[in-house]
Structure 1
Amino acid sequence: MKHIHRFLLLFALLSSSVAFGQITEDPEERRDQGQAPLKSQTPEGNPLPFKDRLRYGGGISALSFNPFSIGVSPVVAYQVTEHFVAGIGAGYTYTNWKNFYGGNLNQYSGRLFGMYEFIPNILPNLYAHVELDQRSFSTSGQLTVAGRTTGSSTATWLGATYSQPIGRLFAANLSFLYNVSYSVNSVNDQVLYGSSPFTIRILFF
């Protein structure tokens, strides 16, 4: 009877090992078959672990020299399905206005976004893009904006992103977005989003 129990225990352990191996198998093996590597599952159709679906990256924005300005935008995204990506991002932009107005402008942002590849058989890597963006600014020195030293605004961006794959879970993403919440009468919107409700952005993740 003990031998039977040992055999069953050994069989259960081996079965668990095989199942774990299937889940964590590298989907890049599909390249050998002339197929694109899967993003959310193994070649056998099993879901990839959470950590193997995470995408990291970001970009540099608002780079100028007169006045000096530079921004950074880190991003963490998650491959929910083969065609849907959700993520979060943050941003910081520093602008030195000391030679013009005697101060600095600091902008901070946080965002949630979703990207859905809606016609992969016709236009692969083209995603519908929805994003909620919360931003604020603060000034230092003599610089004020319409008499204010702080301000904030929330934007809802709608548009499209073309994602050029560089690896299984990394790509160059070119986005064309429209801020449906934008108001030409809002000083905060003018400062934080510029003079137009449209934006073009490149991020790597």
Structure 2
Amino acid sequence: MEFVKQYLLSKNIPLDEKKFGEFAQKNIRTEFKKKDLILKAGEVENYLSFVEKGIARLFFEKENKDLTIRFVFEYQYLTVYDSFTQRTPSRCDVEALTDMVVWRVHYDDLQMLYKTHSVGNLIGRLTVEKLYVEKLNREFSLLSETAEERYLKIMKEQPDLFQRLPLKHIASYMGITPQALSRIRKRIS
């Protein structure tokens, strides 16, 4: 859990050793293999996870196509947040795209930490703010930018994405077919 502590400190979240120790005790180290389904649509998300190693994606199927909602990388929170907070069945699946190591805190334990530690509330608020901004940026991108503009933005902001993920998942995330992505890549290179 030392990497989580360093991450929180880098975000200017004040921690004292005792409170962090109580938070760390509630987290469970869990490993997933590539292609494992971490959560299936219809299940309730019980964990807020922090990724130490690996990549996951949130997706759902429509008309026999996978539609990727979000990728989650090292040092990011992994959860189906609406299912987690509302205690409702998930509308999407969560898949490990690589072997993964995550630290997971159960919903009930997190609620207890929120009640007993102000830092728990701060972590929760910062998590929600980050997820909201990511969601808003993605919606804005899908509604206001062309596929080529979205591709160029990904190349600028996350150039290693194309080495780390299958093109079919990137295309799905961009809202286009793999063939359209190939055409864009050929045109730009």
Query: TM-score band (shorter)?
Result: under 0.3
**TM-score for the superposition, normalised by structure 2:** 0.24
Higher strand share: 1
